[in-house]
Amino acid sequence: MSHEDPTQPSTQRGAISNPEDHAGSPGGSSNSPSLSNQLADMAENRLAPAWLERTGRSSWAFLGIAGAAILIVLALTWMRAIVVPLVLSAFLAVVFAPMVDWLEARKVPRSIGAVLVIVMIAAVFAVTAWVVSYGITQRSDELSSALDDAQSQIQDLADKFNLNNILDEMRNDGDSAGTFLSGGVGAAVTGTLSWLIGLVSGLILGIMLLYYLLKDGHGFASAMVRRSSPTATAQAQRIQDKATASIRSYFLGRSILAVAQGAAVALLLWPMGVPLPIAAGLVNVVGAYVPYLGAWVGGAFAVVMGLAGGGLSLALWSLFVVLFVNLVLENVLEPKVMGSTMDLPPIVVLLATVAGGLMAGLVGLVLASPLVSIMIVVYREAKQSGFFSPAGVRRPPS
């Protein structure tokens, strides 16, 4: 029987005296370190610097968010026939809901109040369209003679500055374009009909959605908010209230700018002798609700009226007046007014409007700023609730 020297290390003695060192090893073998010891060694001896790990996590998070955003944009683009009327109807319902509430307080049923609001909105666009068509039809003779005079003036300028070659090239290009278009009349008619069908379908769907949102939207939103826990319900109610205030503030600021723009155009065109200056101002008021693009619509009508009233020179002065008013208001006053009403920096309003127009066209121009304001509201609420805090850390709601 052999005896071990107690002073010498022994595998068996080490295994007995330090069981945790081999608790995770298969079969209790002393030659294989346990998984917990491996993880502990990796934690103590980092394989990469802390900043590199944080950068890696942030990069993967960014890629995930960007991928999700791309998928959402593609889905919305695919469903734009439904999404565009729904979004516009929702924004209009938020803006005009107080009017329906006011009518309801005076014993008018919400269904009738919603119909009256829709009729009022339609009447504004109908009156604007009538003013434009009336101004053009009543001045058709003057426009025809003014166009002939303008053509003669342009020819005289071309003779004076030796620009006949340029005019000949423009005429040839116009003839070529006319030949090309005449060859594709069928395709053009088909495309126009498809566009008109889509426009009419979108208008009908938008009117129906607007009616139901004005009639039942408030109750529907309240019911959706109350389905969560008390804390989540309070937070959702705050987000809803702030989002509603942002949308209404946006349209309030837009209305102030529209009235100022229309009044300035009418007051400047009137002493110049431009026909129907008030009508030109009204067209600019309606067009001001579409940033940048509305200026071209209002400017075109002012130019036509100037051409009918005083020829090419008055038309050019009318164009200058409209562009000057729009440039001053949309690039100087608009960011400040919209920023103050929505509590956003002016540069954010300007960049959001431009980016929205590039990404979503007409709808993006109109709704980009309030959408950015709503996203900021949601972010602040999520940050305040601890959504971006480390796991297990939550801030108490305010």
The token pair that represents 121 in the structure block: 């909105």
Give domain status of residue 170, yes or no: no
* Cβ neighbours, 10 Å, residue 35: 11
Model pTM score: 0.64
Distance from C-alpha of 279 to C-alpha of 285, rounded to nearest angstrom: 10
- Both tokens of 31, joined, read 């030659």
Which one is predicted more confidently, 367 or 14?
A: 367
Q: Work out how many domains the chain is built from and give that number.
A: 1
Question: What is the pLDDT confidence band of residue 108, given thresholds at 50, 70 and 90?
Answer: very high
Number of helical (H) and strand (E) elements in the chain, helices listed first: 13, 0
Percent of the chain whose predicted confidence (pLDDT) is above 70: 67
CB 352 within 8 A of CB 339: no
Could you report the per-residue pLDDT of 283-339, keeping only the tens digit for each? Answer: 888 888 877 777 788 888 888 888 877 777 888 898 888 888 877 776 777 767 766
Per-residue CA distances from 57 to 11, 24, 41, 49, 67 (Å): 43, 30, 22, 13, 15
CB 35 within 8 A of CB 24: yes
pLDDT, tens only, 37-71: 655 565 555 556 677 777 877 788 778 888 887 88
Q: Mean of the pLDDT values across residues 101-129?
A: 91
For residue 44, is it within any domain? no
| Residue 125 pLDDT greater than 80, yes or no | yes
* Residue 248 within any structural domain of the chain: yes
Confidence of residue 113 (pLDDT cuts 50, 70, 90): very high
Mean pLDDT, residues 276-280 taken together: 86
Q: Crossing angle for the helix pair 110-138 and 140-160, nearest 10 degrees?
A: 50
Identify whether the C-beta of residue 338 lies closer than 8 Å to the C-beta of residue 310. no
Q: Is residue 23 part of a domain?
A: no
Give the percent of the chain with pLDDT over 90: 9
CA distances from 30 to 3, 18, 353 (A): 22, 10, 68
Give the range of the structural domain holding residue 242, as residue numbers without chain letter: 62-152+188-384
Lowest mean per-residue pLDDT among 25-34, 96-105, 189-198? 25-34
| HEC profile of 288-303 | CCCCCHHHHHHHHHHH
Is 11 a member of any domain?
Answer: no
Burial of 159 (0-12, 13-18, 19+ CB in 10 A): exposed
- CB-CB neighbours of 32 under 10 Å: 14
Model confidence at 226, pLDDT cuts 50, 70, 90, reads low
Q: Give φ, ψ of 64 to 5 degrees.
A: -65, -45
- How many CB atoms lie under 10 A from the CB of residue 135? 19
Q: Rounded to the nearest 5°, which phi and psi values hold at 291?
A: -55, 140
Inside any domain, residue 304: yes
Position 301 in a domain: yes
Q: Is the pLDDT of residue 99 over 90?
A: yes
158 CB-contact burial (10 Å; exposed 0-12 / middle 13-18 / buried 19+): middle
With a cut of 70, say whether residue 376 has pLDDT above it.
yes
Please report whether residue 22 resides in a domain: no
Residue 207's CB is within 10 A of a number of other CB atoms, namely: 14
pLDDT digits (tens, 9 = 90+) for 149-204: 766 766 666 666 666 666 566 656 555 545 544 555 555 566 667 767 777 888 88
Q: Is 20's pLDDT higher than 50?
A: no
Looking at residue 117, its pLDDT comes to: 93
pLDDT of residue 258: 87
Longest dimension (CA), the chain: 131
